Structure 1
Amino acid sequence: MAINYEILEEIGLISESKSGWKKKLNLISWNSRDAKYDLRDWAPDNEKMGKGITLTKDELKELRDVLNNMNL
């Protein structure tokens, strides 16, 4: 089963490995559905991806609040 995706917005780079893979937060439409926020590793050409998580806008806001309340 082919998964289609369109990166609508590259929001931010979290980290980059020595091999060039980048952990990024993007806004992505998966299989022509409504866009969601997506955090995962991407190959340098964005053709391959690692496992990640997708979040709705409300879930991303909750995650932001949780992170802001952490004592780092």
Structure 2
Amino acid sequence: MTMQDAKPTWRKSSRSGAAGHCVEVADVPAAVLVRDSKDATGPVLRFGTGDWTGFIAGIRAGEFDRPGA
């Protein structure tokens, strides 16, 4: 399946604010797509499901937390 064939269902975090400073994600076969919510026709990043799972695990483990934030 190519990006052109896919009809992704985009979603934002329930924690995203009204200001629109967030990203949207969509699941497609064997990948997760990520885009800027303010630019729905702009570039899309594609991550393999294993890479995405590792990224989410890192977030939950605090690997990307800024000191003092």
Q: TM-score, normalised by structure 2?
A: 0.53
Decide whether the 8 Å contact of 2:23 with 2:36 is kept in 1: yes
RMSD: 3.0
Q: Which has the higher contact order (CA 8 A, sep 6+)?
A: 1
Tell me which residue corresponds to 1:13: 12
Structure with greater proportional strand content: 1
Residue 65 of structure 1 corresponds to 57
Deviations 1:6-44 (A, max 9, x none): 23433x314525xxxx7311124xxxxx45201112568
Structure 1: 5+ residue stretches without partners:
29-33
Return the TM-score normalized by structure 1.
Answer: 0.51
| Equivalent residue pairs, number | 57
Structure 1: 4+ residue segments shifted above 4 A: none
User: Aligned partners of 1:39, 1:23: CA distance in 2, in Å?
Assistant: 7
Percent identity, please.
9
